[in-house]
Amino acid sequence: MSICVIFGGSGFVGTHLAQTFLREKRFTLIYIADINKTLLEGTLGISYCNIDVRNEINLELGEAPEWIFNFAAVHREPGHLDKEYFETNLKGSTNVCNFAERVGCGKIFFTSSIAVYGPCLVPTDESKLPNPITPYGGSKYPAELIHQIWLNKNLSARKLIIARPGVIFGPGDPGNILRMIKAIKKGYFVFPGSPKICKSYAYIFGFIDSIKFTMNRPEILMTYNYVETPTQSIEDIAKIIKLILKSKAPIISIPSKVLMPIAKLIQFFKRTNNPIHPIRVKKASTPTHILPQQLVNWNFEFKYDFQKAVDHWMQSSPEDFD
């Protein structure tokens, strides 16, 4: 029997990865360990365990898992206090690594983020030293180091993969890309800052392809960026969506220095998350031009540029666009 444990497996990436493993019969049994229920509960080959990674992990498996996937994280910005990112992302990494040591698992896949780089005004690959400026990015980089400490304790018997994906989108995700598509479908799209800035995104099925690809490589330590290539500007992304939708919706750019005071004023009175929250405005107008250079060097096949990704999404989950 071959088993794996997916911490944070009820989330967007974990659910898609588990479904892929089920289709491909990669593991005999997949443990979904998450504080939230999984949509896959009751599915043959899936065992759900209510696990909060902030606490010591007392999960009894009966045998050592072949792989542990650590997707458990606090990541949405805004939505959490600064300390919550560190409490979950650092304590969680420590507890997952301690669990791997206790049960004798020698392979961990950890999902970090391109947020560890901070703003990327120029094309940025894995050679750039991390320089996070947000609590999320600032918690993810030391979480990487916690996993590397686990690896270094027994280099001859362990393997660690650290992925730094861009903003992941695809079927079932109601995030930035779907909001943009729906806005253009309604006949307008408003963007803070210059529409010329570059934004790196990761299509969920492309990211999963990269997970399977790196799992089969021989290196004991791999750290790689995952974004679709080439990275495109917001203006180009919007034009592709308009082409797919056959839309003539205008792309309206509002300078950040104009929109930011408005966002702060709305937030002061509303005091709840809203579509033009100051943090969202800042993130939307910050360039993230990431290069997946390691995957290019390894001859990974990128199947989804932005247009192919949206086409594939619309064909596989048309209900997302209703």
Q: Is the pTM of this model over 0.95?
A: no
SS (H, E, C) 127-151: CCCCCCCCHHHHHHHHHHHHHHHHH
Please tell me the number of Cα atoms within 13 Å of 25 on its side-chain side: 1
What is the set of domains in the chain, with CATH numbers? 3-165 (3.40.50.720), 174-200+232-322 (3.90.25)
Q: pLDDT 10s digit of each residue in the chain, 322 long?
A: 799 999 999 999 999 999 999 999 999 999 999 999 999 999 999 999 999 999 999 999 989 999 999 999 875 655 667 788 888 999 999 999 999 999 999 999 999 999 999 887 889 999 999 989 889 889 999 999 999 999 999 999 999 999 999 999 999 988 888 988 988 888 877 777 777 888 899 999 999 999 999 999 999 999 999 999 988 888 899 899 999 989 888 888 776 665 656 556 665 556 555 555 555 555 565 678 899 999 999 999 999 999 999 999 999 999 988 7
Half-sphere exposure of 15 (CA within 13 A, CB side): 13
Question: Could you tell me the CA-to-CA distances from 297 to 225, 273, 291, 304, 322 in Å, in that order?
Answer: 12, 41, 11, 18, 40
Strand-strand pairing, 167-169 and 201-203: parallel
How far is residue 310's CA from residue 20's CA, in Å, rounded to a whole number? Answer: 19
Please tell me the distance from the alpha carbon of residue 178 to that of residue 171, in angstroms, as a whole number. 9
